[in-house]
Amino acid sequence: MNKYSRKIPTVFVGGPWSKPDPEENIKQIVSLFVELWRDGKCFPICPMIEQHLIHSRYQLIDYEHGLQRCFEFIDSSHAAIFRAGESSGKVREKIRFSEKNIIVFENKEVQESKKQLYQWIETSWMNSKEAT
């Protein structure tokens, strides 16, 4: 079985968006998203990327509607990984994860979070009913 034919967890990718520098935040979040995607151990989802694209190009999404869309993605996630940094939206997202009993990985260094996520996938996730 190759890495794409087995069930893998859906992982929400998040972090600060607007503070301190939206463009740098998006650059970093895209980098993390692509790393996770290429590694093939999880199915990353990141509504922040699409919202940033739509908002910066067309100004069609206001903050609250964007955050509500994130909540929909949260509800279908198995885990989350966050970049460190201050963000009121991230605080609200993490509260939602807590309410849903979904595990969150966030450390000062994102590579440490990624390492812990992969460790969780190899141990807890792979032995769960959802993985089989």
pLDDT tens-digit profile, the chain (132 residues):
445 445 899 999 988 877 778 888 889 999 999 999 999 999 999 988 777 676 666 666 666 666 677 778 888 999 999 998 888 888 888 999 999 999 999 999 999 999 999 999 999 988 887 776
CATH number of residue 120's parent domain: 3.40.50.10400
**pLDDT value for 21:** 82
Distance CA 84, CA 112 (A): 11
Has residue 2 been placed in a domain? no
Has residue 67 been placed in a domain? yes
Residue partners of 83: CB distance under 8 A and separation at least 6: 14, 15, 16, 25, 28, 29, 32, 106, 110
**pLDDT value for 59:** 67
Total of domains in the chain: 1
**pLDDT value for 129:** 73
Has residue 38 been placed in a domain? yes
Has residue 50 been placed in a domain? yes
Has residue 59 been placed in a domain? yes
Has residue 3 been placed in a domain? no
Distance CA 40, CA 57 (A): 30
Residue 100 DSSP SS3:
coil
Name residue 50's amino acid. E
**pLDDT value for 78:** 95
Can the peptide bond before residue 20 be classed as cis, meaning omega within 30 degrees of 0?
Answer: yes
Q: Which residue range(s) make up the domain with 98?
A: 10-131
Has residue 92 been placed in a domain? yes
The alpha carbon of residue 53 and the mean position of all alpha carbons in its chain are separated, in whole angstroms, by 17
Has residue 4 been placed in a domain? no
DSSP 38-98: HHTSSEEE-HHHHHHHHHHHH----HHHHHHHHHHHHHT-SEEEE--S--HHHHHHHHHHH
